[in-house]
Chain A
Amino acid sequence: MPYRTSRWSWLTAGLGLVFSVPVVAILVLAFSAQHGMWTHLASTVLPGYLTNTLLLALGVGMGTFVIGVGAGWLVAMHEFPGRRVLEWALLLPMAFPGYVLAIVYVEVFEYAGPVQSLLRELFGWRSPRDYWFPEVASVGGAVFLLSLALYPYVYLLARNAFTQQASALLEASRMLGRPPQQAFWEVALPQARPAIIVGVSLALMETLADFGTVQLLAVSTFTTGIYHTWFGTNNASGAAQLALALLGGVALLFVLERWSRRQQRFHMRSTATRFPLRHSCSGIRGWLTLLAGALPLLLGFVLPALFLLGWTLQSWERLPLDRFVDDASHSLLLAAVTAGLAVVLGVALAYGMRLCRQRLVRVLIRVVSLGYAIPGPVVALGLLIPLAQLDQRINPWLEQQFGMGVTYLLSGTLFILIAAYLTRFLALAFGTTESGLTHITPSMDEASRALGKSTLRTLCSVHVPLLRGSLLIALLLVFVDVMKELPATLMLRPFNFNTLATRAYGYASDEMLEPAALWCLAIVVVGLTPVLLLNRQLRQAHAVQETPSHRLMPVPGLPDAAPAPEASHA
């Protein structure tokens, strides 16, 4: 018996080590740089990257806060026509990756685009000198688009916090002599603070990791900086240093998010709201409320989706469909293989976590769950450098053994792509499985073991069947995220190999925005599935709201939904 347990420890520890390779490689690379590199970076590009990244983070932080909390408050505390539809529809912008939104908005607002053309026609302007028009390709534009794409994180968590107990707390506050407006600032908002911080820090992590949006809008941030330093000036250690600085920012957000999640558990008591108090808005006020609440949905989903659809239909005759089929099959293949592997490895890790009590193993597993927070360009850099070196060792050996070598066996094939995807998205599969496993009582394991089954047999015959639902969700989440992934794919793909995401990006970079529409549309349609799934889960959770132990997680895109349980085991 102890032998078997330790076998799981080795397995999980090994996996943990493998997936910490990119971070370790970045560290090694960054500190092995020639002396003076830091000062060189600091004097040239760093200030620009830093300013842009900070402005972006600040802007998106405020943008997602205002939209997310505002929409959450409207929907949770007001009754108006269309509220029930809006409640779930507000999650739809999650289906739009930032870069797709950027492709649409650049096209719509450019000089020759429909909006400016219409304005010119209406007012008789002739040239750009005749009027002022906001530039989408700017930090402001990036803030606007990323806020639209990322506010659902904040919205979802804030709305939950408000519906769960805001009305009870507001009543308590009113009974103590406070008018409702004041009660919002004094009670409802502070009590939701941990949830809001979790949401905003998730949105900010995505912002720091974003590559496609800022690249398309020509805003230089750390991620685009890594790309240019690496590919443009072939300076890998410089890129690694930028990556390290970026990781520092991500780590900060990660700690903030974890800490708030713990606070959130204290704030979220099982207060069953028996009298959900919705301020009813009828007549013109109701319609205005609906309009205000629907604005982020219109800008972040409905209008862009309509534009994409329109462009696709318009250019249908001229579309290179065989190319689309090729790219789509590449995307599907990668997504399916990665999702399958991620679920198998995720189950192994989660089960190993359940069996192992060693501190070191648990720490290594936590390292894996950090992967989701690591930006794509960082993962790409951290994988390509060590794998390329490994290839250089393998090649002569292969020639010796078989008389023929393969120059880029690992670093030039789909292997490295899948490894990069797993580094980033294994955390999703692991988190989903882990939170599913917590619902299976340990006595279940003991019962099976007492009946003479090994740990592996127990896993296969007891846990996996019980976890079927969670595993399907994990499969779907990883699948969709791989389909949407852009930066790592762009940097690591084999020569002339394209996926939906890279082709859409490529078209957009070449200012061929019309053909990009079909590719974008395909990505959005795939991206819709987890949003619909999430919505279904939330509905079910709503129906069983009385059971306080019920967990809404896993939420697509929210990494590692499970609370950090180390404390109870230590």
Chain B
Amino acid sequence: MRPLLLKPLMLECHRLSKQYGNVLAVRDMSLTLEGPDFLSVLGPSGCGKSTLLRLVAGLEHPDSGAVRQAGTTLSGNGKFVPPEQRHFGMVFQDFVLFPHMTVAENIAYGIRGLKSDRQKRVLELLDLVSLSHLSDQMPHQISGGEQQRVALARSLAPRPQLILMDEPFSNLDHQLRVQLRQEIHGILKQEGVPTILVTHDQSEAITFSDQMVLMNRGTLVQSGTPKEVYQQPSSLWAATFVGEANQLPVRWAQGKLHGSLGVVTVPPEVGEPTATLLVRPENLRLQAANSGGVRGVVRQVEFRGASQSVEVQLESGEVVCATTPPQTACAPDDAVSVHLDHFLCYGAAGQLLSNPKNLRE
């Protein structure tokens, strides 16, 4: 459609802090975004992720720290570039379309230049979000999903250097959300605009982004690709917030880790401080009873279509959750044996200790 933005974005947040009253919304946050990336900021509600986005947008002044872009300071060090001069696009949670303007007028609002150019750009965007037939409607006459696409088109219209999205899908129902997410992802890729998405929905963050930032209580917990964050959560909190996880207490004795899933061998420098073993459900294998491994009894089976989730009570009394292929025959009260394929070690403070290696006993 149009040439990719060749200028690298190079957005940098440096030790940002922001306080509302006596609530510290953002604490010492740093992050960088280079090139046409998708960055999602994930965290529970109230963790300060929206505030972070607003600091980047220039809708809030940071108490300390700085926002820089390609070497220029946008906020911080006594400088502040107002939002209207930053050339960032924003898609709000509740769309915030101008109620007194038609769809086309909404989209045209931010475009500068000759009237004919503006019209051309509006048509281009209406086409991009497949809403050409609604151009003369008022916002209250179109559906929520359509409003969302208008909001996106409006933010893309002035060719912003960066798109900021604040929980853009949370006001839509589930099915629409999934569909629209894919659509908008496609549109943004096509336009080649770097994007920061703020969300509390982990599946949204995982599927949407190239880079992911996990936040909790105003601070950065972990950043990396979605794969890294999922596979090597830096803390037990991160592991449970992104994806499902079994946490099993273990103790170090005679050079090995002992727990309810049996005995595993790890290097002593990892094993000694380990307090908890973290196992994703898909890393537990269920096999017929007496095929080795740890014995257990099936408590509950939840069929999910492409997979099934099985709750197994281990000999020790602890209950773990395993994901198996849907064809695995298994019913409550069946005796099974549980095999451990992969795990991570965490210390007493919940911090990640080991690098993932397939260490199996």
If over half of B's interface residues share one DSSP class (helix, strand or loop), that class is named, otherwise mixed; here it is loop
Contacts of B157 in A (CB 8 A): 176
- The reply to whether B158 and A169 form a contact with Cβ atoms under 8 Å apart is no
Report A281 CB to chain B, min CB distance, Å: 16
What is the CA–CA distance of A179 and B83 in the complex, to the nearest angstrom? 9
Contacts of A171 in B (CB 8 A): 59, 83, 90, 92, 96
Whether B185 is near chain A, meaning CB under 8 Å from some CB there, is no
What is the CA–CA distance of A179 and B100 in the complex, to the nearest angstrom? 19
Given known A176-B158, A190-B100, A266-B99, contact A275–B59 (CB-CB < 8 A)? yes
Contacts of A178 in B (CB 8 A): 84, 110
Given known A171-B59, A173-B109, contact A274–B96 (CB-CB < 8 A)? no
Contacts of A172 in B (CB 8 A): 90, 92, 96, 98
Whether B155 is near chain A, meaning CB under 8 Å from some CB there, is yes
What is the CA–CA distance of A266 and B60 in the complex, to the nearest angstrom? 29
Q: How many A-B residue pairs have CB under 8 A?
A: 74
- The reply to whether B89 and A274 form a contact with Cβ atoms under 8 Å apart is no
Interface set, chain B 43-65, CB cutoff 8 A to A: 50, 54, 57, 59-60
Interface set, chain A 250-308, CB cutoff 8 A to B: 266-267, 269-272, 274-275, 277
Interface size band for B: 20 to 34
Report A54 CB to chain B, min CB distance, Å: 28
Given known A191-B98, A266-B138, contact A176–B59 (CB-CB < 8 A)? no
Report B146 CB to chain A, min CB distance, Å: 14
- The reply to whether A175 and B155 form a contact with Cβ atoms under 8 Å apart is yes
- The reply to whether B89 and A175 form a contact with Cβ atoms under 8 Å apart is yes
What is the CA–CA distance of A190 and B92 in the complex, to the nearest angstrom? 20
What is the CA–CA distance of A409 and B85 in the complex, to the nearest angstrom? 77
What is the CA–CA distance of A191 and B154 in the complex, to the nearest angstrom? 18
Chain B residue with the shortest CB-CB distance to A187 = B98
What is the CA–CA distance of A267 and B82 in the complex, to the nearest angstrom? 27
- The reply to whether B82 and A179 form a contact with Cβ atoms under 8 Å apart is yes
Contacts of A266 in B (CB 8 A): 99, 138, 140
Chain A residue with the shortest CB-CB distance to B59 = A171
Contacts of A175 in B (CB 8 A): 57, 59, 83-84, 88-90, 110, 155
Whether A83 is near chain B, meaning CB under 8 Å from some CB there, is no
Most central of A177, A190, A275 by chain B CB within 10 Å: A177
What is the CA–CA distance of A287 and B82 in the complex, to the nearest angstrom? 25
Chain B residue with the shortest CB-CB distance to A264 = B99
- The reply to whether B94 and A168 form a contact with Cβ atoms under 8 Å apart is yes
Report B141 CB to chain A, min CB distance, Å: 8
Contacts of A274 in B (CB 8 A): 50
Contacts of A176 in B (CB 8 A): 84, 89, 109-110, 154-155, 157-158
List, sorted by A's number, 21 A–B pairs whose CB atoms are closer than 8 Å. Answer: A168-B92, A168-B94, A171-B96, A172-B90, A172-B96, A174-B59, A175-B57, A175-B89, A176-B89, A176-B109, A176-B158, A177-B87, A178-B84, A186-B109, A187-B98, A190-B98, A191-B100, A267-B100, A271-B96, A275-B54, A275-B60
Q: Residues on B close to A: CB < 8 A?
A: 50, 54, 57, 59-60, 82-85, 87-90, 92, 94, 96, 98-100, 109-110, 112, 138, 140, 154-155, 157-158
